Structure 1
Amino acid sequence: MGYLKFDKTLLINLEESLQREILCTNRKGAYHSTTVIDCNTRKYHGMLICPVPKLDSENHVLLSSLDVTVIQHRTEFNLGIHQYAGRYFNPSGQKYLRQFEFETVLKTTYRVGGVILIKEKVFTTFENRILIKYTLLDAHSSTVLRFRPFLAFRSVNALTYANPVAKRDYTEINFGIKTCMYDDYPDLYMQFNKKVCFVFQPNWYKNIEYSKELELGLAYKEDLYVPGYFELSIEKGESIYFSASDTFIDPANIVDEYNRGSQVHTPRTSFYNCLKNSAQQFYYHPTESGFYLLAGYPWFKVRARDLFISMPGCSLAVDDPASFEKLMDTAMIALRRFMRNGNCDKVIQEIYMPDVLLWAIWALQEYAKYTSLAQCSVRYGKLIQNIIQYIMSNKHPILILKPNGLLYANGKTNAVTWMNSTFEGKPILPRSGYIVEFNALWFNALKFSVELSRFTNEGKRAAMLEQKANQTESSFVSTFVNKYGYLYDYVDEEYINWSVRPNMLFAISLDYSPLSRTQKRSVLNIVTRELLTPKGIRSLSPRSEGYRPYCTGYQHERDLAYHQGTVWPWLLGVYLEAYLKLYQRRGVSFIERMLIGLDEEMNTHCISSLSELFDGNPPFQSRGAISFAMNVASILHVLKLLDNYNNEK
C-alpha cells in the first residue's frame, strides 16, 4: 500500500473518513479543500475557493461541490455525499467508494456494480482552476455521467441561504456554461473537454450542515444553489475532463493543462516529501513583484512573525535558496519601510510586533549557514546592520533596549508575543517586560552581527557589538535563570512569572546562547519532563497554574486554552534542534524516534500536512488550522539537520 492510501474499510466509516481532510493550493491564495470522501464538513471547504479583490481581502467559495451520478439502464447511482440535520447523509455516495490515494494527484476509485470509475483532481499553480479527470475503467453496458454543481458565491467567513437576489441566468460557452450569482463576483466557468448537454433545472438545496462548525458552536447550516446539471456519455476506457475556474479555458487545452498540473509536485511517498509539498502550498505570489508565505490554511493570511520563522524551513530546508531570496527580498522592502517611517505593509500583517526584526535576523543567519557568510553579507549585510542600529537607537514603537542590555516590551494591554490570544481586545496572557525569547533572540542577533562584522573586517563595529552582547549575556543570566534549573518566562519590574513554558527553549536552541552547558542541560531536562509530547511541546506545564489541555468548546473557551497547555509541533523542532546541539550525533536516534509521532499525522486530519496545534493530553487530538506553516517549516528544518548529520563521514 502507498504512503497515503486508504481503502474501503476506512472510507465508508464516516467516523474515520470525515476526520481526514485534503488541501490543494495555488500561488494566488486560492485553494481546494474537503474531506477524503468529498463531503464538506467546514464552511471553509469547497471545490473552488479563491480571492475576490473587488469585494474584500478574503477568500470566497464559488463552487462548493460537484456531485457525480452514474446512470446505467436508466438507473441512477449518485456518488455525492452531503450531511443534513440529524447526521443524515444524502446521497450516500460513500458506499460506492473503494480507494483513495494522494501521491501526485487526488485519486478516488468508485465501484457501482460492474462500473469502476476513477476520479482524479488537480489544482493549477498559477490560475484559480480545479481540473477533474473521470476515467471509466470498466463497464458492461452504456454509461452516462451526470454532474450537478453546488454553488455558494460567498465568503469563507459566512454562510449563504436561499434568496431572491441570487441571479439564475447563465451563458452557454464552449463545452460548458458560465454563471455568476451576485454583482462584483467573477463569472464561474464550468467546462468539459468534450461536448456536453446542460439542463437548466434551478433549485436550492437547503439546510446542508457542516459538522466542524457545529462542534465549535458556530453557525453550521446553509443553502446551496444548483443551477441544473451537465450530462454526457462515456465509453469504457475513456477519460472526461472537467474545469472550474474564474477564467475561460479553451476546451482543447484542458487535457494538456491537467497533465502539466499533475506533474509539478514531488510524489508524496515519504514523510519528507509530504512536508516538502506542504511547504510549497504556503507560497503566495499575488503580484509580479510580491512573494510571500501564508501562515496557514484555511483562514490565515501573511503574518510577519510566522513569515520569518517559516522562511528557512519552507525554502532552505528543501534546498530552494532562490525562493528564500524572493521571500526575503519582498519582506526586506516592508522592513525598511517600517523602520524608516513606521508604515505597515498592506500584505504582511503585524510587522510592528517587537520580535519580528529579531526573527528576520535569525532567518538571515540560517541563510548564511546554508550559503555562506560572504553571500549573506553582500546581499543582506546592510539590512542586518540597519535592524541592529534601529533597535539600539530605541526607535521601535514597542521594543525598548534598557541600560542593562535587555529588551523590554509592554504586553499588558496588547498581546506582543506569539502567545497572542485575546478576549475582548485584551491579552489572555499579558506577557510583558523582559520576555525570555525576545532576549535570547537579541543576544543571538548581536553575536551573529559580531561574526559578520569580523568577516568583513569591521573591527571597531565588532568590538562594540561584542561589548553589548557581553552585557546582554550577563543580564540575561541574572534575570531569567532561577534556582530550580529553568528560566522565568518573563520578568516585569518586581513581577516574576514562574510558569514552566517552552519559550525558554530558544535560549538553548539558537546558535549563540547566553547559558552555560550545565544550564542548557537543566532547561532541556525540565522541558523534556514537563512539556514534551509525541506531537510537540506543551505551551504550559501540567504542573503550572491555569493548565487547560483541551482546545475545545466555544470561541472564548478555545481562546483561554490556546496557549495554556496545548501542544505546538513547531516548538518540537526548536526542542529537537536544542537536543542536537547538546548531544550532537548521540541525539540522532532519539530525534528520529520523536518524529514518528508526526509522521503518523500525514495520514490524519489534513492529509500530508501538520495541523496548527494539538490537545495537551492523550490522545493529543489535532485542533485549529488544518495546515500550519511554522509547524511544517520547523520539522523540515530538523529533517535537514538530521540529513546533515547522517551525511557526515
Structure 2
Amino acid sequence: MIEIGFGPQVCGQLSAGASREWLVPDGRGGYAMGTVSGLRTRRYHGLLVVAGETPATRRLGLVSLDAAIIFPSGAQVRLATHEWRSGDVDPRGFELLERFELVDGLPRWRWRVGDLVIERELAMTYGRSCVAVVHRLISGGPVRLTLAAACTWRDAHAERRADGPAPRVEPVADGAVVEGAYRLSGPGWKPVGQWWHGVHHREEAARGLLAEEDLWHAGTFSGELTGPGDTVSVLAWAEDLAEEPPPATDIVAEARRRNRRVVAAAKPAGPVEATLALAADAFVVRTGTGPDVVAGYPWFGAWSRDTMTAYEGLFLHTGRADEGRELLRAYAATLSEGMLANTADTGRVEYNTADATLWFLHAVARHVELTSDTDLADELLPALRTVVDGHLAGTRYGIHADPDDGLLTQGAGGEALTWMDARVYGIPVTPRAGKPVEVNALWINALAAVGSLAGLLEQDAGAAPRAHQQALESFRRRFPSPVGWLYDVVDAPAPTYPLGGATLHDDDLLRPNQLLAWSLPYAPLKPDPAVLRQIGAALLTPLGPRSLAQDSPGFLGRHGGGPAERDGAYHQGTVWPWMIGSWLDACRRAGMSTDEMLIGIDSHLPEFGLGSVSETADGLPPHTATGCPFQAWSVGEVLRVRRS
C-alpha cells in the first residue's frame, strides 16, 4: 500500500491535521472515525459508532478516550484535543504529535513530551461492534496514563444535550455499561459522571448544520507505564455485553492480519491498487440479510444505484465474486414492477430511481462475463426479462419505453430519478424529465446484455433484441447535437411548462452523463477523439469530470455552505470522481492515451479521507474535496478502471 503518514508540520497544525480523516470499519456498517489531529470535527466522529438493523441506522456510543500523562512529580500533560463553543481549542494535544500514520490501514499516533514517547493504536473486531484502543510506552517513563471516557448514546445524525437526561451508566467489572447499549472495559476504572458542555464540530458548522453537543464524562481509566513496551488498553463493544472480546492487543494484531489478507486476495499490481483494495473493503458489509454495500461514510447507508455502479470494482476486482453473487441474488429479490429497490435509508423501501435497475443488469452481465458464472446467469435471466418487460410496458414515476422510438423516458412531478437526484426544498435541482442520455445508454446496454446472456444460455431473450435494435437506431439519430457533443436530455418538458406539458425541447447543456454512451460494454456510439477532447477541455479536473461546464448557465464552482447551497451545487459544476471511470473507458475506446489521467486521483488518496476517494470536489481550483470523505462508487470505479 502507499505510505500515508504525517509529521509535526501536519499533525501540529490544526487546520491541516483536522482536515484529514481516518476510518476503521467493523464490517457491519459501524465504524470508528476521526482526524489526524484527534479533533472531532463532525457529529459523526467517534470511537464506537454502532450500526442498527440497516447500515444507515447508526448510533454513536463511545466518543473519545482523552489521554493524559501524570508524571511522578504530579505534573500532568493532556494529549487530547477539543474545540468548544467559545472558539477555544483546549486541550491542545495535537501540538505534541510527532507522527501519525496508517499501518496496514489502521491509525497510529505518536506523542512526544521530551524523552517520553507514547503511541496509540486503534482497531475494530471485524463483524462485531467492538473497538480496541491500545496505548504503548515507546520510551521514557515511568508515568501514569489516564483515559477519560467521553460518552453519549444518540442517533449519529443528531446531537445530545445536557438539558435532557444524562446517559445511564451502570458499573460492571473493570468498567461500565452505558445506556444498556455498550460496555467499556479497562484498568483502574473510576466513575465520574459530569457533563462537558458545548463541544463544537467545525465541519458541521461549515455545512450549515447544528454544530454543538454536550458529552458525558462517564469515568476514567488509568494504568501505569513503567518501561518501554508497557500498555494501557481499553475495549468498548455493543451487543453481547457479557461476552468479553479478546485482549485489545490481539484485536489490533488480527485486524492488521485481516487487512493484509484483503489486499492479497485482490492481487494488486502495485501500492495504489493495494490501497484501493483495502479502501473497497470498508464498503462491503454483512447485515442480517447478507452482504451489502455502504454508499459512503460517515452518513450514507445502502443505495442500490451506488452499489451497482461500484459493483465491478468492489467485488470482481477484489476477489469477492462469491459475496457478489450472494448480493446480486438478494437484490434481484427486491424487483417490483420491473424496478430495483433504491434504498431503505429513509426507513421504508423506495423505488424512486430510473437508473439503478439498469446498473443492476449491467452488474449481472459483468459478473457473468468476468467469472463465467453461467449458473447465476441461468438463475437471474428470468428476472432480467421481467425488467425489460416492465420498462416496455411502463412502471412507476412515468418510466417507460416510448413506443415511437424505443427510448426510455422518465419523470414525475417533484421527483429527481436519475443519479442527479438533489432537491432543494423538495424541488429537483436537475429533474431531467424526458429521455436522459445516460439512462438511455444504460437501457441500450441492458437490452444488449440480456440478449447476450440469453444467447450464452441458448435461451429465449424475450423482447430484448427487438427493443434493443429500435432504441439503438433512435439513440444514434436523436442524441448527437449540432454543438458537437450529445444532448443531455431529449424530449424534455420546456422549463416554462409544467411537467407533462405539450412543449418539449432537447437540452444541450454540457454534462458528463453522455460519457456512458461511449464507455459501456454495449455502448450505443463509438467515441470520436475530437468530441472527447472538447468535453475534456470543459469538464475534466484532476479528480474527475465536473457535472456541468463552467460556461453553462447555473454553474456553481464551490460545493459548500448550508444544505440548500450544497444541494443546489451538487450537480451544477461539482466534480464527481466516480465518473473518471467512464471518461477513461471512452478515451481508451477512442485510442487516446490515458497514462497520466489518474495522477490527480492517486495524489488525492492521502489528502482527505485517508487511503480512499471522496464523494465530490469543488468544480473550481484547487478542487477541494467535499461530501463523504469515503465513497463507494468513487473507490469502485477508480479501482475498476485501473485494472481494466
TM-score by length of 2: 0.91
Instruction: Find the partner of 1:231 among 222, 238, 241.
Output: 222
2:634 corresponds in structure 1 to: 631
Q: Cα–Cα, structure 1 residues 454 and 168, in superposed 2: closer, same or farther, change >3 Å?
A: closer
Percent sequence identity over matched residues? Answer: 27
Structure-1 residue corresponding to 2:535: 527
Corresponding residue of 2:511: 501
CA contact (8 A) 1:136 1:238 kept: yes
Aligned pairs for 1:249-648 within 5 A: 249-250=243-244, 253-266=247-260, 270-287=271-288, 289-335=289-335, 338-339=336-337, 346=344, 350-372=350-372, 374-396=374-396, 398-403=398-403, 404-458=405-459, 461=461, 465-492=464-491, 494-515=504-525, 517=526, 520-583=528-591, 587=592, 590-641=593-644
The structure 2 residue matched to 1:188, chosen from 179, 182, 190, is 182
- Tell me the residue number matched to 2:6: 6
Q: Is the 8 A contact 1:191 1:251 kept in 2?
A: no
Partners in 2 of 1:557 and 1:417 — Cα distance?
20
Q: How far apart in 2 are the matches of 1:538 and 1:39?
A: 31
Aligned equivalents of 2:481 and 2:343: distance in 1?
A: 40
Please say which of residues 227-236 and 15-24 is displaced more in the overlay.
Answer: 227-236
Give yes or no for contact 1:303–1:349 (8 Å, CA) kept in 2: no
Q: CA contact under 8 A between 1:412 and 1:432: conserved in structure 2? A: no
Rounded Cα–Cα distance in structure 2 between residues aligned with 1:78 and 1:413: 53
Deviations 1:477-520 (A, max 9, x none): 222111222111112262111200111111000112222x3x64
What's 1:124 paired with?
A: 125
Q: How many positions carry a matched residue from both structures?
A: 618
Distance (Å, rounded) in 2 between the aligned partners of 1:605 and 1:152: 27
Distance, in Å, in 1 between the alignment partners of 2:169 and 2:606 is: 42
- Separation (CA, whole Å) in 2 of partners of 1:461 and 1:178: 58
CA deviation digits over 1:448-472, x for unaligned, max 9?
22222332334x748x643332211
**1:163-242 correspondence to structure 2 within 5 Å:** 163=163, 165-167=165-167, 169-173=169-173, 175-180=174-179, 186-192=180-186, 196-236=187-227, 237-242=229-234
Distance 2:388 2:94 in 1: 58
Aligned partner of residue 228 in structure 1, secondary structure: strand
Q: How far apart in 2 are the matches of 1:168 and 1:372? A: 55
The one-letter code sitting in structure 1 at the alignment partner of 2:513 is: N
Q: What secondary structure, in the 3-state scheme, does the structure 2 residue paired with 1:102 have? A: strand
Could you tell me which runs of 5 or more consecutive residues in structure 2 were left unpaired when the two chains were aligned: 264-269, 493-503
User: Runs of at least 4 residues of structure 1 off by over 6 A?
Assistant: 340-345
Instruction: Tell me the SS of whatever aligns to 1:69.
Output: strand
Structure 1 residue 416 displacement after superposition: 0.8
Instruction: Check whether the contact 2:304–2:343 (CA below 8 A) recurs between aligned residues.
Output: no
Higher helix share: 1
Q: Contact 2:544–2:580 at 8 Å: present in 1 too?
A: yes
Deviation, 1:431, is 0.4
| Offset from partner CA, 1:251-279 (integer Å, 9 cap, x none) | 76444333322321139882222221121
Instruction: From 238, 243, 252, give the equivalent of 2:235.
Output: 243
Q: Distance in 2 between matches of 1:219 and 1:343?
A: 32
Amino acid at match of 1:272: E
Per the TM alignment, residue 2 of structure 1 is displaced from its structure 2 partner at its CA by 6.5
SS of the residue corresponding to residue 128 of structure 2 reads coil
Secondary structure of the structure 2 residue equivalent to 1:291? strand
- Correspondence for 2:138: 137
Deviation, 1:356, is 2.0
Counterparts of 1:306 and 1:342 in 2: how far apart (Å)?
12
Report the residue type matching 2:69 in the other structure.
V
- Matched residue SS, 1:567: coil
Distance 1:470 1:332 in 2: 26
**Does the CA contact (< 8 Å) of 1:305 and 1:351 recur in 2?**
no
Tell me what 1:70 maps to. Answer: 69
- Residue 644 of structure 1 aligns with which residue? none
**Cα distance between partner residues in 2 of 1:2 and 1:346:** 35
SS of the residue corresponding to residue 339 of structure 1 reads coil
Separation in 2, partners of 1:252, 1:443: 53
Give me the whole-angstrom Cα distance separating, in 1, the residues matched to 2:82 and 2:429: 38
Sort the Cα spacing of 1:520 and 1:387 in 2 relative to 1 into closer, same or farther, 3 A: farther
Deviation at 1:522, TM superposition (A): 4.5
- Which secondary structure does the structure 1 equivalent of 2:614 belong to? coil
Contact 1:530 1:541 survives alignment (8 Å): yes
Cα distance in 1 between the residues matched to 2:472 and 2:43: 49
Hey, what's the Cα distance between the residues in 2 that align with 1:45 and 1:131?
16
Instruction: Measure the CA separation in 2 of the matches of 1:341 and 1:79.
Output: 52
Determine the structure 1 residue equivalent to 2:111: 110
What CA distance in whole angstroms lies between the structure 1 residues aligned with 2:117 and 2:587?
Answer: 51
Amino acid at match of 2:250: D
Check conservation: 1:414, 1:430, Cα contact below 8 A.
yes
Distance in 1 separating the partners of 2:357 and 2:167: 49
Q: What is the deviation of 1:8?
A: 1.5
SS in 1 for 2:337: helix
Structure 1 residues 161 and 468 mapped into 2: Cα distance closer, same or farther (>3 Å)?
closer
Residue type at the aligned position of 2:159: L
C-alpha contact (below 8 Å) 1:412/1:427 kept by paired residues? no
The answer on whether the counterparts of 2:64 and 2:149 sit within 8 Å (CA) in structure 1 is yes
Further displaced range: 554-563 or 409-418 = 409-418
Please tell me whether the aligned partners of residues 168 and 227 of structure 1 are also in contact (alpha carbons under 8 angstroms).
no
Q: Deviation digits for residues 341-360 of structure 1, max 9, x if unmatched?
A: 99887579544422222111
> 2:305 & 2:170 partners in 1: Cα distance?
45
Alignment partners' CA distance in 1, 2:301 and 2:200 = 26
**What amino acid does structure 1 have at the position aligned with 2:362?**
W
- State the Cα distance separating 1:283 from its structure 2 match: 1.7
Measure the CA separation in 1 of the matches of 2:156 and 2:339.
34
Residues 197 and 618 of structure 1: CA distance in aligned 2, closer, same or farther (over 3 Å): same
The alpha-carbon distance between structure 1 residues 621 and 345, as it changes in their structure 2 partners (threshold 3 A), is closer
